[in-house]
Chain A
Amino acid sequence: MSNKTELKPTTEVASSHHNAEAVRSSGDTRSNTIRNIGLILRREYKNRVFQRSYIITTILFVVFALLGSCVPTVIQFFAARSNSQSHVTLVNNAGTVAGLNDEALTTYFSQRLNGNSNQSTASGQSNTKSHFVLNTSTVDQVKPLQKNITDGKLEVLLVLDRAAGNDVHFTYYTAAASLADTDLTQIQTVAGQLSVLDKSSHLGLTAAQTQHLLTPPDFKVVYTQPGKGGDSALTLAGGYFLGVIGTVLIFMSVYLYGMWVASGVADEKGSRVMEILVNAATPFQLLWGKIIGIGAAGLTQMLCLIVTGLVGLWLQKPLSMALNTNSSGFDFSYINTSTNLLILLLIYFILGFLLYSTLFAALGALVKRQDEVQNAVGPLTAVCMVGYMASFIGGSLGAGATWFKVMSFVPFWTPMMMLMRVATGSVSGLEIGVSIVILIVSILICSWISSRIYRMGILMYGQKPGLGQLVKILRQ
């Protein structure tokens, strides 16, 4: 009696309706899910944090954050230095101009130049640091003064002459290159006005009539959207600056940490540790242990960065005092804006990471070896990239175009684009809330899809599954 005869012929071929569960599903009560996820995430976290590349990037991040937070103050510092006072020496060779004698003329120039200048935001500030400092001198001093100009001891020498034709001539001496000379236009404007006054006084108009002639029209601007009217160009630029930093941070971190997840999964699969792991823990536990562990490592890095950034911002006031930049016209409100943005940044980072990392994990599970990961995640990187680019373009437009608004609600782009919108303009709390809800729902959907692909992928060493096969996996 051979045992062979005991075997029934294999007529009963596996029928398709038995295919329900190909790999053990996540609902495994035999192993303690929480405990296993804890063990896996602790391993992932430790493994990541002690890696040399991690330590180096963290240090770099911290240094950049510290330097980055100082950039506005440093710019201000240099701007203040280059914006130092211009000494203008007035030599009046023309006698009384527009009814003003030497002294009155100097006062007129001083008031017009410093009052009309671009520094109008500083109008509330004391006048002791006015940009233009006016002096008068006599005709015989012109030669030595010209030498002073050449030597750089004096910025501007303005000589007024009156020729026979009764019109005032202005001669402007400067050492500055014509393009870089911002003083010229201002002085020219004032000189033009003075010339008009002078001519009109010759035509017999009174000073008051001339003044009336020169009064600008009553021109009122009404901003229909609240909160925007006050935005000066500087604030908008500052918001864009912060938005760019936030977008870059989100893109970099989500992509970097997502790649960690993908290559981690591929590494486990390629080195075949997966075979023992999958015996000890369910795919669900492996997937989430990895995502949370790497996410925590990423969050640690982000927190280092953000804390350094905050400390850096907090140091700006003392720093600018120390540099004696005299923060006239400099707006420190961006520090408050930054704090709000940082909280949003953190929320969007976590949600963005969860959304992308589940997909990265699934893609990592589909490749055979680690070096194939880069190719596999290509499409996802491209999607991420679109949001990144759009965020820059949309942010530079400032006001918020419709396409920008619409795109900012697409979950794959929300973390970057919504952040940029918040940084550059006003976004209602409702919009932010809706975007977060959409993100969370997408995370749930994506993680469901991903865990199915992951479950099938981790033990598949054959040919890469086509799109059709993936759909089949999802349907099962």
Chain B
Amino acid sequence: MALVVDAINKSFGQFQAVKNLSMEVKEGSLFGLLGSNGAGKTTTMRMILDIFRPDSGHISWNGKDVREIPRRELGYLPEERGLYSKMVVEEQLLFLAQLNGLSKHDAKIELDEWLDRFQINANRKKKIEDLSKGNQQKVQFLATILHNPSILIMDEPFSGLDPVNAIVLKDAFLEMHRRGKTIIFSTHQLDQVEEMCEDIVIINKGEAIVKGSVRDVRRQHGRNVVRLKLENDSEVLWLDTLDGVQVTKRRQDYIEMQMRSDLNPNVIIAEALRHNGIINRFELAEPSLTDIFIETVGKIALPDAPATVS
């Protein structure tokens, strides 16, 4: 039970937007699609949505080709937000929900519930252009979820929100997760990914360069980082003599070092005790996703070739 993307390719003219990309999104999971601007995230999303068709490769949902999934199973929040600016909130959402396959009656019930939850009931008769940006975002979010799709694909759902609205949207987001929706989203805020996502893929220049569960990814990219603080020795110069250990930072509060992954961090404790050190702090730190992102993408990233399709 999963969304399986199998070796898809997509080119626009000479520009290859997605190269041989494979990934698997478990049903009901929160999946992070990461990558720098122009890496091919949006194109990948559009292919999952069957707006574009891959030049080669295959995308399936629970074993069924994505082309055969009823459209109402898919909800899409595009990166560039847009609604009919002259249309009234209520009419707009009813129109989109009906277009997505809901009956008018059902659409109204859903609409009432969600407008309440988002506290924008007072704005239901207003034109979109008269709403604040935060409220426009909420309406946009509603346009994505109102027809109760099972797969949500959201391009940068939290960008440009003030902290209060970000929390309202994040709650709704997590609510959809609780309801068992499969959510694929892209973001540049990697701390959010660490907080919410189970699995991620990092795309660079159309290729998946990192993928797996957040925990695995962090582990695999550990270079085990150890932070050490000895009360009676602020320099801990003997660390430099250890094989497979490289000190990266000497700070007032701790010393940070990287260990070869085949070494057991206990070696450090043993050494410290042997040097009669009094251990104030011993910490095994996993690298943050930001570190991994910068390391993996930054290594490969070349000056961006202009993308023809955003």
**CB–CB A19/B55 < 8 A:** yes
Q: Is B37 an interface residue (CB 8 A)?
A: no
Q: B28 on the interface (CB 8 Å rule)?
A: no
B84 to A2, Cβ gap below 8 A?
Answer: no
Given A12-B9, A39-B99, A276-B78, A3:B51 Cβ within 8 A = no
Within 8 A of B (CB), among A1-57: 1-4, 7-8, 10, 12-15, 18-19, 21-24, 30-32, 36, 39-40, 43, 47
Of B16, B95, B143, the residue contacting A13 (CB under 8 A) is B16
Bound complex: CA A32 to CA B85 (Å): 26
| Contact status B220-A3, CB under 8 Å | yes
Q: Does A460 contact B (CB under 8 A)?
A: yes
Q: How far, in angstroms, from A375 to B161 measured CA to CA in the complex?
A: 36
Q: Which of B101, B212, B310 contacts A461 (CB 8 A)?
A: B310
List CB contacts (< 8 Å) of A81-134 with chain B: none
* Bound form: Cα–Cα A353–B162 in Å: 47
- Would A14 and B210 count as touching, CB distance under 8 A? no
A278–B76 Cα distance when bound, in Å, is: 10
A462 at the interface (CB under 8 A from B): yes
Residues A24 and B99 in contact, CB atoms below 8 Å apart: no
Is B195 in contact with chain A by the CB < 8 A criterion?
no
Query: Nearest chain B CB to A1's CB is how many angstroms away?
Result: 8
- The answer to whether A185 has its CB under 8 Å from any CB of chain B is no
* Cβ-based interface call for B10 (8 A): yes
A372 within 8 A of B: no
Which residues of the other chain, B, contact A39 by a CB distance below 8 angstroms? 95, 98-99
The B-contacting residues of A in range 266-290, CB under 8 angstroms, are: 268, 271-281
Does any Cβ of A come within 8 Å of B176's Cβ?
no
Chain A residue numbers with a CB within 8 Å of B307 are: 462
* Residue A463 interfacial (CB < 8 Å): yes
Chain B residue contacts of A2, Cβ below 8 A: 220
8 Å CB contact of A276 from B70, B82, B87:
B82
A393 to chain B, nearest CB (A): 42
Q: How far is the CA of A171 from the CA of B49 in the complex (A)?
A: 97
The distance in angstroms between the C-alpha atoms of A12 and B55, with both chains bound, is: 11
Contact A47 B220 (CB under 8 A): no
Q: Which residues of B contact A47 (CB under 8 A)?
A: 84, 86-87
Q: State A7–B212 Cα separation when bound (angstroms).
A: 12
Whether the pair B95, A43 counts as a contact (CB closer than 8 A) is yes
Interface size in chain B (residues, C-beta < 8 A): 57
Select B74's contact among A8, A10, A15, A279, beta carbons within 8 Å: A279
The answer for the CA separation of A426 and B149 in the assembled complex, in Å, is 61
The docked-state distance in angstroms from the alpha carbon of A157 to that of B83 is 81
Asked if A12 and B52 sit within 8 Å, CB to CB, the answer is no
Check if B69 is an interface residue, CB within 8 A of chain A. yes
Kindly state whether residue B11 has any CB partner on chain A within 8 Å.
yes
When distances are taken between beta carbons in the complex, the residues of chain A under 8 Å from B99 are: 36, 39-40, 277, 280-281
* Neighbouring A residues of B13 by C-beta, 8 Å: 469
Chain B residues whose CB sits within 8 angstroms of the CB of A8 once the complex forms: 7, 20
Min CB gap B50→A, angstroms:
6
A3's partner among B83, B210, B309 (CB-CB below 8 A) is: B210
Contact B87 A7 (CB under 8 A): no
B81 interface neighbour in A14, A272, A274, A469, Cβ under 8 Å: A272
Contact A15 B56 (CB under 8 A): yes
B residues 11-28 in Cβ contact with A at 8 Å: 11, 13, 16, 19-20, 22
Interface members, chain B 31-52 (any A CB < 8 Å) = 46, 49-52
- Produce 1/0 per residue, B159-189, CB < 8 A to A: 0000000000000000000000000000000
A459 lies within 8 A of chain B by Cβ: yes
The answer on a CB contact under 8 Å between B20 and A12 is yes
- Given the known inter-chain contacts A10-B207, A18-B55, please indicate yes or no for A271 contacting B9, CB distance below 8 A: no
Do A275 and B80 touch across chains, with their CB atoms under 8 A apart?
Answer: yes
List the B side residues contacting A281 at CB < 8 Å: 71, 99
A43–B68 CA distance with the chains assembled, in angstroms: 27
Interface: B232 (CB within 8 A)? no
- Interface majority SS (helix, strand, loop, mixed), chain B: mixed
Q: Is B143's CB under 8 angstroms from A459's CB?
A: no
Residues of A within 8 A of B86 (CB): 47
**A7-B207 contact in complex given A14-B10, A22-B53, A30-B70, C-beta closer than 8 Å:** yes
CA distance A31 to B99 in the complex (A): 9
Say yes or no: B52 contacts A23, CB within 8 Å.
yes
Question: Would you give the shortest CB distance from B67 to chain A, in whole angstroms?
Answer: 8
Most buried by B among A18, A32, A280, A469: A280
- Whether the pair B56, A18 counts as a contact (CB closer than 8 A) is yes
Interface residues of B in 247-261 (CB under 8 A from A): none
Known contacts A12-B7, A12-B9, A14-B16; decide if A271 and B309 are in contact (CB<8 Å).
Answer: no
Q: Do residues A462 and B309 form an inter-chain contact, with CB atoms below 8 A?
A: yes
Contact B309 A461 (CB under 8 A): yes
Report how far A19 CA is from B209 CA in the complex, Å.
Answer: 25
Tell me the nearest residue of chain A to B201, going by C-beta: A3
Contact residues in A for B120 (Cβ distance below 8 Å): none
C-alpha spacing A277/B76, complex, angstroms: 10
Q: In the complex the two chains form, what is the Cα distance from A18 to B9 in whole Å?
A: 10
| Residue B208 at the chain A interface, CB threshold 8 Å | yes
B276 at the interface (CB under 8 A from A): no
Partner of B71, one of A22, A31, A463, A469: A31
Residues of A within 8 A of B81 (CB): 272
CA of A459 to CA of B43, assembled, Å: 11
Q: Does B217 contact A (CB under 8 A)?
A: yes
User: Which residues on the A side are within 8 Å of B50 (C-beta)?
Assistant: 24
Q: Determine the residue in chain B with the shortest Cβ distance to A289.
A: B99
Residues 239-275 of chain A: 1 if any B CB is under 8 Å from the residue's CB, otherwise 0? 0000000000000000000000000000010011111
A344–B53 alpha-carbon span in the complex (Å) = 44
Separation of A253 and B86 alpha carbons in the complex (Å) = 24
Q: Taking the complex as formed, is B115 at the interface, i.e. its CB lies under 8 A from any CB of chain A?
A: no
Question: A469's closest neighbor in chain B, by CB?
Answer: B13
CA distance A404 to B50 in the complex (A): 50
Residue numbers in A under 8 Å from B96 (CB-CB): 276, 280
Check if B280 is an interface residue, CB within 8 A of chain A: no
Give the shortest distance, in Å, between B297 (CB) and chain A (any CB).
Answer: 13
A13 to B96, CA, bound (A): 38
Are A30 and B20 in contact, with the CB atoms below 8 A? no
A24/B82 in contact, CB under 8 A: no
Task: Return chain B residues, CB-CB under 8 Å to A469.
Answer: 13
User: Which 7 residue pairs spanning A and B have beta carbons closest together?
Assistant: A272-B82, A14-B55, A275-B78, A14-B9, A18-B55, A462-B308, A279-B76
**18 additional contacts (CB under 8 A) given A30-B70, A279-B51:** A4-B209, A8-B7, A12-B9, A14-B56, A18-B9, A23-B51, A24-B67, A30-B69, A39-B95, A47-B84, A275-B76, A275-B78, A279-B74, A459-B46, A459-B309, A461-B309, A462-B310, A463-B308
Q: List 16 A-B contacts (CB under 8 A).
A: A3-B210, A12-B7, A12-B20, A14-B11, A14-B55, A15-B55, A23-B51, A24-B67, A268-B84, A271-B84, A272-B78, A272-B82, A276-B82, A276-B83, A279-B51, A469-B13
Residues of A within 8 A of B (CB): 1-4, 7-8, 10, 12-15, 18-19, 21-24, 30-32, 36, 39-40, 43, 47, 268, 271-281, 459-463, 469
